[in-house]
Structure 1
């Protein structure tokens, strides 16, 4: 499945100054001194361990604003500031604070001649790391603009001089606190709407300007899981919108919690502009509900099986017994207890307990719209692998003694949860069978001979 939305993201942030300045009427505060970021500061801002992707997302926890020490001089929003005599390679940094939820439009304007300056906005996190919220890198002396939704906290203008003839330019930020329901970035209008089920999407990047947008609605407010995988993972940037586009760790299960009923989740995959795009490479995106429980599980043979009782064979107890076929079913549930469509479960069936490597087969099924998994296993030929046993069965007023030949096997059910809480790079599993009792033991009954039958 190919997904492409060319230039949408760049156009949304490439707002020209004439319309921006007229709308915000920012007063000029005149020239300010340059604060050139030194090598230590550049490393601090750009080191991947400091500009960090998210490993989990919670929409319930609102981070308090910490008392941080700004890394750069503090300026105020609502003004234009002038920088002059810049040189190519300079990086200037200035801090500003947001005190209430707002829409912030950061601008860099009035470039002339050979000047070419890029603008980025960073957020200073409470743990003294930094998150890149947006960048504008138009060619030549075009104006730059970054529009983001900002929560209370500390932010920076990060100004990179690509080329300069020393002529002045201006920068600033306009903050709007009266937001309506439509203030979210309008690029979401191009999103692929994902249904209320487990979703697995394959996409690619046709060019470095390609961006794929997706929206999933948590109908029940259930916990979600996100995962982006590719053999060429560095070609992609994975982001979620949470008061600004936030980078997400790639190649890992990312839990998304604290959601309200019918809350939309907006995510995007975009090309890494530092690497040439290769349209023949693909990514795989999983957007799924976390499977937290299951119910109504049944694994059984046919009706009317004359069972081998515990008194005849007790080590181990043969919990499940069948003649020809094994039926299994269960219901998969999300964090709200509701059924989940499109999730999977696997019945791992060992037909010969004494030869598990060669006789084990995984039977995977996918849940329907009611969250129901169901399957039928044909047992095929029966190869006796235990000593014959005699046992008594009472039926219709008779005491019947049977001799049974059987093949001993086992089964377990594994259900991927779509999370990796212990970070061992393997999905956590729930199901039937665990560390203490890994298997449920099974008897495939090959043949039963009636030895005697007497009135009871």
Structure 2
């Protein structure tokens, strides 16, 4: 799947936010009269830091009750749809609502008709009686206004500024959900979760029918990617990529992405399937991975001081790798451009007389893996192998007991090998040479030492 750079980089905001009272489960609550806020709370400028709020809060802060304040505007309930009319250009309108537990709030202004252009903000009333603007929506004309923000326990306001109005009716409301996954709040491009340059594996959920999870990945090297979305075949989620518009991608399949330019950004979206009920306890898994194209600088060896057993001292096989207690292995994992990949995994599989054992390691920021394996208990299956060593002018004869085993290295490329869910791998060991023989030296006895 090839994607163009321009199409992936520019996403109209209107495609990402829509106000819909039905999807937000707002209950019709009738008409309310207009209320203008006092001068003390004239809307402050939105601080960029307020758009993405700190999630690493203490348990006490998350569960803290709202501070006691006196609202400066009439209180309305969240979850309701209220109707207003009679506004004039230049009016400022305000209503208060309270949040009692950490949640995501979607404030809505919708149903504008006639000559109307009204902007919407969410403002927080701080404990020291100051005010902080958390977000603003300023679409043109009668387009719906939507502000989504993470709200801690406290006091908040719908804050509406009327640019144009002929007095026609419009609606306001707020939907609040508390079933948040660890990637909230990421419902807009401005707050999309920025994925790491390495391999990414994400678990999330849908907390409501109107929840949207947005993710962005920067292909720093213009490397090939593999996308995979797993939903346990529940069909609760819709997975999409932006390519001049939202393009759906099938779940439970691998989608290769190629033709990217260096530093090209791809934007991904997960949203609820509105044809099914939402179960916030269910999770999806999103994998955004660089395709592993090669590896380099590989090394698998025992200790540096191993007294190696030559092939001449025994029949097959040749013990390519020999070790006493530890097996050291290292390599570098590379993407399709030859650049190293961070957080990529490789697996060394060791074959012994008891079966196989897997050892998995993860690459660092330089794409490098360097690991050591304790070989554990040695169970020799070759006894009394005699061999000669020359050292410091002496001819030394040794007798060794060895457990003959083998190893191989497997690295998943992140591509489907045969389109049936079998992951393609590269590494050391394959169809022609499936294993590299390993001699785990259990015991070595010096039989004789003669000056040569």
Band of TM-score, shorter chain = 0.5 to 0.7
Cα shift at 1:379: 1.5
Which residue of structure 2 aligns with residue 306 of structure 1?
Answer: 307
Cα shift at 1:402: 1.1
User: What's the CA shift string for 1:118-154, capped at 9, x where partnerless?
Assistant: xxxxxxxxxxxxxxxxxxxxxxxx999xxxxxxxxxx
Task: Return closer, same or farther for 1:248/1:11 CA change in 2, 3 Å cut-off.
Answer: closer
Which residue of structure 2 aligns with residue 374 of structure 1?
Answer: 370
Cα shift at 1:314: 4.2
Matches of 1:258 and 1:421, distance apart in 2 = 20
Are 2:352 and 1:351 equivalent residues in the alignment?
A: yes
Matches of 2:314 and 2:433, distance apart in 1 = 18
Which residue of structure 2 aligns with residue 45 of structure 1?
Answer: none
Matches of 1:428 and 1:440, distance apart in 2 = 20
Which residue of structure 2 aligns with residue 252 of structure 1?
Answer: 253
Cα shift at 1:380: 1.9
Once the two structures are superposed, the pairs formed by residues 31-430 of structure 1 within 5 Å of their partners are 187-352=188-353, 355-356=354-355, 360-430=356-426
TM (norm. structure 1) is 0.58
Cα shift at 1:364: 0.7
TM (norm. structure 2) is 0.59
Q: Secondary structure, in 3 states, of the residue corresponding to 2:244?
A: coil
CA contact (8 A) 1:330 1:374 kept: yes
CA contact (8 A) 2:238 2:248 kept: yes
Cα shift at 1:276: 1.0
Are 2:438 and 1:442 equivalent residues in the alignment?
A: yes
Matches of 1:239 and 1:209, distance apart in 2 = 15
Q: Secondary structure, in 3 states, of the residue corresponding to 1:423?
A: coil
Matches of 1:375 and 1:214, distance apart in 2 = 32
CA contact (8 A) 1:10 1:209 kept: no
User: What's the CA shift string for 1:31-52, capped at 9, x where partnerless?
Assistant: xxxxxxxxxxxxxxxxxxxxxx
Cα shift at 1:190: 3.1
CA contact (8 A) 1:233 1:283 kept: no
Cα shift at 1:346: 0.9
Question: Unaligned regions of 5+ residues in structure 2, if any?
Answer: 1-12, 21-112, 114-141, 145-186
Cα shift at 1:376: 1.2
| RMSD after superposition | 2.5
Matches of 2:440 and 2:19, distance apart in 1 = 69
Matches of 2:423 and 2:339, distance apart in 1 = 21
User: What's the CA shift string for 1:101-123, capped at 9, x where partnerless?
Assistant: xxxxxxxxx9xxxxxxxxxxxxx
Cα shift at 1:446: 1.0
Matches of 1:391 and 1:233, distance apart in 2 = 63
Matches of 2:234 and 2:352, distance apart in 1 = 40
Task: Return closer, same or farther for 1:256/1:395 CA change in 2, 3 Å cut-off.
Answer: same
Matches of 2:322 and 2:206, distance apart in 1 = 53
Q: After TM superposition, which residue ranges in structure 1, 4 or more long, deviate above 3 angstroms? A: 8-15
Between Structure 1 and Structure 2, how many residues are aligned? 280
Matches of 1:223 and 1:400, distance apart in 2 = 55
Cα shift at 1:232: 4.6
Cα shift at 1:210: 1.3
CA contact (8 A) 1:342 1:368 kept: yes
Which residue of structure 2 aligns with residue 39 of structure 1?
Answer: none
User: What's the CA shift string for 1:165-185, capped at 9, x where partnerless?
Assistant: xxxxxxxxxxxxxxxxxxxxx
Cα shift at 1:330: 0.8
Matches of 1:325 and 1:143, distance apart in 2 = 67
Matches of 2:17 and 2:432, distance apart in 1 = 55
Cα shift at 1:361: 1.3
Q: Secondary structure, in 3 states, of the residue corresponding to 1:418?
A: strand
CA contact (8 A) 2:233 2:252 kept: no
Matches of 1:282 and 1:322, distance apart in 2 = 45
Q: Secondary structure, in 3 states, of the residue corresponding to 1:387?
A: strand
